[in-house]
Amino acid sequence: MSKEFDVVVIGAGPGGYIAAIRAAQLGKTVACIDEWKDPKNGAAAPGGTCTNVGCIPSKALLQSSEHYEQAKLHFGDHGISLKDLKIDAGKMVDRKNAVVRQNNDGILYLFKKNKISFFHGRGSFVKASAAGYEIKVIGKDAETLVGKTVIVATGSNPRALPGVEFDEKLVLSNTGALDLKAVPKKLVLVGAGVIGLEMGSVWRRLGSEVTVLEGMPTFLPAVDEQVAKEALKVFTKQGLKIELSAKISEVKPGKKGVSIAYTDAKGAAQKLDVDHVIVSIGRVANTIGLNPEAVGLKLDDRGAIVVDDQCRTNLPNVWAIGDVVRGPMLAHKAEEEGVAVAERIAGQHGHVNFNTIPFVIYTSPELAWVGQTEQELKKAGVAYKSGTFPFLANGRARAMGDTTGFVKILADAKTDEVLGVHIIGPMASELIAEAVMAMEFKASSEDIARICHAHPSLSESTKEAALAVDKRTLNF
């Protein structure tokens, strides 16, 4: 016998579980389906890629590796001496797994708190009916649910190199890259995107010789050019070997390692023998097992679910959000869409502003940005003003011993409205929130410049960058 709900959410990643909670808050009866399992015991592990093999575990390992590098290279500057500094990569991974489990359990608690029925298994469409949509759940036990409304939030999967499958032992996706039990001697990362740079940073700090092979001729082309140039300089100085315009011709796993053949920027043939290769060339929408054809759910030529600007699909009362639809594949974008769709289902006016979605790369220094880049403004012919301020001139950054980078603000030349904010430096991921709020409320650079910021704080660099737009910095 089927169980009926006002809303059935397929997927409990950041978009799905947030959509389920918001729908429940608005008085709907809600079911959420998710198949992620704890690799140790098979227990339900909601949270999707972000919680299990993405955002959360990568930040846990980045934190551990940052502590190690600080102890190794910088504690002496603070008068702290250590003897016999050692790495236990296995213990680092165990701590990462514990952090992941805490987040899994937290989501299960939130489901219980909000009276959401959770079903552990894979959800797939069966048919449309007068009562809504019939969804089959295949897990430990088979279940049949009927949802008056369905929200698809099935996320994405890592894109593999053509002809080279992930074995998560030698050829790794983000999943395998986060689960290495020992520090490899040599690593190659294919792709200099977010995942590649973050994973490269983790293992480089712990002692690996890391080479990043990027097919594009430009480093971080989506990032403001001035920030990208600074990042390339800093990462190279740290020890990451980054090769642009690298064309992979062969990836050949062996008994103990991987052989990679490629041509470099000059067209010369090159070969590397390494312990592992981490492939981070993007992600693809995940509709595996969803059975969209059973109800006529439309997909585009990339396999993503087709939606309008409100996240409606071609089917009545079926919505889709997050990585499985158009737009940036970011956890916080999925969350915003989840809330907006739940509110739209309840007759409210959900809001998502794609122009103020922040982007972050959690390397050291961190990179964070929102809005348009300088190259985008030039291409669009928009007249603008620019102001930058270096962390080198910030008192808090000096006290922290981390003065790399700067804050950059771009504002309309006529109206002074902030059009983009770009940060490379300490805690950029936290500093960008002020910029997002400023842009959401159509602030001018003068608005930011005239707000009192605590002293000493890193946020003063944002104020000073705003002052620099009008060429009146006070501390540089």
| Candidate list 67, 74, 351, 455, residue with the active-site label | 455
123 annotated as belonging to a binding site for a ligand: yes
Spatial CA neighbour of 151 closest among 342, 279, 301: 342
410 annotated as belonging to a binding site for a ligand: no
195 annotated as belonging to a binding site for a ligand: yes
197 annotated as belonging to a binding site for a ligand: yes
Report cis status (omega within 30 of 0) of the bond before 328.
no
Q: What is the distance between the alpha carbons of residues 452 and 448, in angstroms, rounded to a whole number?
A: 9
331 annotated as belonging to a binding site for a ligand: yes
191 annotated as belonging to a binding site for a ligand: yes
48 annotated as belonging to a binding site for a ligand: no
313 annotated as belonging to a binding site for a ligand: no
196 annotated as belonging to a binding site for a ligand: yes
323 annotated as belonging to a binding site for a ligand: yes
Contact 35, 121 (CB under 8 A): yes
Please tell me what DSSP assigns to residue 74. Answer: I
Q: Is 120 a known active-site residue?
A: no
Contacts made by residues 61-68, CB under 8 angstroms, sequence distance 24+: 61/92, 61/93, 61/96, 61/178, 61/202, 62/198, 62/201, 62/202, 62/362, 62/363, 62/364, 64/92, 64/95, 64/96, 65/92, 65/201, 65/202, 65/203, 65/205, 65/206, 66/205, 66/364, 68/205, 68/206
59 annotated as belonging to a binding site for a ligand: yes
194 annotated as belonging to a binding site for a ligand: yes
Q: What is the distance between the alpha carbons of residues 396 and 411, in angstroms, rounded to a whole number?
A: 26
Q: What is the distance between the alpha carbons of residues 159 and 156, in angstroms, rounded to a whole number?
A: 9
Pair of tokens at residue 46: 């909601």
131 annotated as belonging to a binding site for a ligand: no
Looking at the annotation, which residues are catalytic? 455
Which residues are part of a known binding site for NAD(+)? 191-198, 214, 282
Which residues are part of a known binding site? 59, 123, 154-156, 191-198, 214, 282, 323, 329-332
Which residues are part of a known binding site for FAD? 59, 123, 154-156, 323, 329-332
